[in-house]
Amino acid sequence: MQNTTPHPKLVRVHVFISGRVQGVGYRYSTVDTASQLGLTGWVRNLPDGRVEAVFEGSQSVVEEMIRWCYQGPPAAMVKDVLVEYEEPEGLRGFDVRRFEKSSQDQ
């Protein structure tokens, strides 16, 4: 018998969070929250003081994660969250990445 339950559409968002979001546990709280919600993706600090993250999952869960980004962990003071929708890549797992300068950034 075929499973006729529709699969939720996979969406991907690329977010940039600004404010007091570095040095307050934002990245690791993001990993915990995204993992609990079953999202895949990554998070990293940027040299300009923002946090950058990518989330992939069902639209409703991704939107829940975006709402969380506006608050973050208790020590964070979020000023703004820029959200860009992109094509999903089918990422696996959720991890912390490091920002690496490209040769043009040096």
Active site residues: 27, 45
Q: Which residue has the tokens 């043009």?
A: 104
Q: Which two tokens stand for residue 29?
A: 């709280």
**Residue 19 and residue 78 in contact, taking contact as beta carbons nearer than 8 Å:** yes
In the chain, the DSSP E strands lie at: 10-20, 40-45, 51-58, 77-86, 94-96
